[in-house]
Structure 1
Amino acid sequence: MTFTLDLPTGPLADAVLHTVRSSVSTPIAHHSVRSFYFAQLLAEHEGALDDAAYDRDLLFAATVMHDLGAGELAPGRARFEVEGADLAAALLTEHDVEAADVDRVWEAIALHTSPGIAERRGLLAHLTRGGIGIDFGRTVEIVAHREKEIHAAYPRLATARSLTDAIVERAARSTAAAPRYSLGGELLRERRAAGTTELERAAAASPWGE
C-alpha cells in the first residue's frame, strides 16, 4: 500500500465527513480521521490489504463515524456506541449501501469499546477497534513511521478530555445511556466521583499524550 493522507471521495464519503464534522467537536472529528489512517496502517502491518474482507470505503465509514453517538445527533437514550451505530447505518442505507455491509459497519461501531469481542467479529470490526486503539496509544510502533504526518494534519487538541466530556454529557441524560460497566456508564461514574477518568489519565500518559 502506498500510504496517503487523501481520504475517499464521492457522495457517500462526502456525506460521512459532513455528518461527522457538523455534529461532533473538532477534536473528536480529528480522532475519528486519525483512527481511519491508523486502521489502514494496521491492515498493512497484518497483511490484510489483500484479504477479501478488506474494504477501504467501509473502513472509512466505520472509523470516521464511530463516535457519532457522542455528537449532537445522538439523543442519549441508549449507549453512545449503539446510537452512533444506528446513525451510521441510517446514513449508509440512505446511500444505497448493501444491507450486509451496513450491518458490518453497525457491528464495528457498536463493538468498538468491547475488547475481546470486536476482534472476533470479522476484519472490519477488528481493524476499526485496532485503529481507534492506536490513537489512544496502543501498539503505536505499528504506525511510528507515519504518525508525525498524521498528527500534523489532524492534531490531537485534547482528544481524550473532549471525547470524555461528550460521552459523559450524553450518558447523564438517561439510565439506558449509562448501564453499569459500559464505557459511558463508567466514565460518568468516575467523573462524578473524582472529577476525572482513567481514560483521560491513560491518554495523558500514552506516547501521543492527550
Structure 2
Amino acid sequence: MANAPADLSNKPADDVLTLPSGPLVEASLAAAGAVVHPSVLNHCIRGFYWARLFAARRGLTDEADYDEELLFAAHVMHDLGTGPDAPGRLRFEMEGADLAAAVLTGLGAPAGDVDKVWEAIALHTTPQIPERMGLLTCLTYEGIWIDFGKNADLVAGEQGLIHAAYPRLEMVRHLTDVVLAHGARSETAAPPYAMAHHLAQERAADGFTTMERGVINGPWGE
C-alpha cells in the first residue's frame, strides 16, 4: 500500500532545491554538463525536482526502491544522446541510455542499478509503458514530462522557485533542434514512429512542432 502523500506546502526553499550528493551525482552532472546545451541541462535538473515532488505527492518516497541518486542520474543524463558523443546510429533515447550506463559502469555501480537507469532513459519518450515498469522508470518519465506541462498542478507551489534557480532559456527550441540533428545523422537514428521521425515530419511541414507549441502555449511557457 502506498504511503500517505507528503505535505510539502511549507517546505523551506533550501530543502526544495537540495540535490543528492555523492560520486554518482557528481559524475552524472559532469557528463551532462560537458555535452548538452545549458537550457537542456536546466531541463534535466528540473525534471529531477519535478519527479521528487511527484513521488512525495504520490506517497512514493518511502518505497524500498526509491533512490534519489539513481533518480538524479536518470534525469540529468537522459538527453546525453543529443550530444556529440552519441554515435548517431540508433534513437537518441537508446544512445543516451548507453552513454549513461557507461558512466555508471565506470563508477562501479551494481549491474542492477545500471540496468534501471538504462531502462528509465531508453523509455523516457514512450507513453504508457513507463508506468508499468519499475519505480525509477515511472518517476523519470513523470519528471521529464512535467517539464513539458503534464501534471503541472502537482508542482505549482514550487515551480516559481525551481524555475528561478534553473530558468527555461527556450529549452524546447534547443531540445527540438538537437533531437532533429541527431535523427538526421542516419536513417536508423530516426526510424518511423520514433520521436525524432515525428518531429522531423512536423518541422518539414510548417517549421514548427507540436512539442514546441505545447510548451510555449502550456503552463510554463518559454
- TM-score tier by shorter-chain length is over 0.9
Q: Does 1:158 align with 2:170?
A: yes
Following superposition, which runs of at least 4 residues in structure 1 exceed 4 angstroms of deviation?
Answer: none
The one-letter code matched in structure 2 to 1:143 is V
**Deviation string, structure 1 residues 139-169 (Cα, Å, up to 9, x no partner):** 1111011111100000000111000000000
2:48 corresponds to 1:29: no
- Work out the CA distance in 2 between the residues paired with 1:167 and 1:91: 21
Instruction: Measure the CA separation in 2 of the matches of 1:178 and 1:34.
Output: 26
The amino acid across from 1:108 in the alignment is A
Query: 1:4 offset after TM fit, Å?
Result: 2.8
Match of 1:146 among 144, 154, 158: 158
Aligned length: 210
Corresponding position: 1:14 with 2:51: no
Equivalent residue number for residue 197 of structure 1: 209
**Among 95, 99, 105, the residue aligned to 2:111:** 99
| Greater Rg over alpha carbons, structure | 2
Question: In 1, Cα distance between the equivalents of 2:79 and 2:166?
Answer: 16
TM-score by length of 2: 0.92
CA distance in 2, matches of 1:87, 1:192: 29
SS in 1 for 2:113: helix
Unmatched tracts of structure 2, length 5 or more: 1-5
Bigger mean CA offset, 190-199 vs 38-47? 190-199
Q: Is residue 2:96 matched to residue 1:74?
A: no
Aligned equivalents of 1:170 and 1:188: distance in 2?
11
Residue type of the partner of 1:206? Answer: G
For structure 1, which runs of at least 5 residues remain unmatched after alignment?
A: none
Q: CA deviation at 1:114?
A: 0.5
Among all aligned residue pairs of Structure 1 and Structure 2, give the percentage whose two residues are the same amino acid.
Answer: 53
Scaled by the length of structure 1, what TM-score is found?
0.97
- 1:185: Cα distance to partner? 1.1
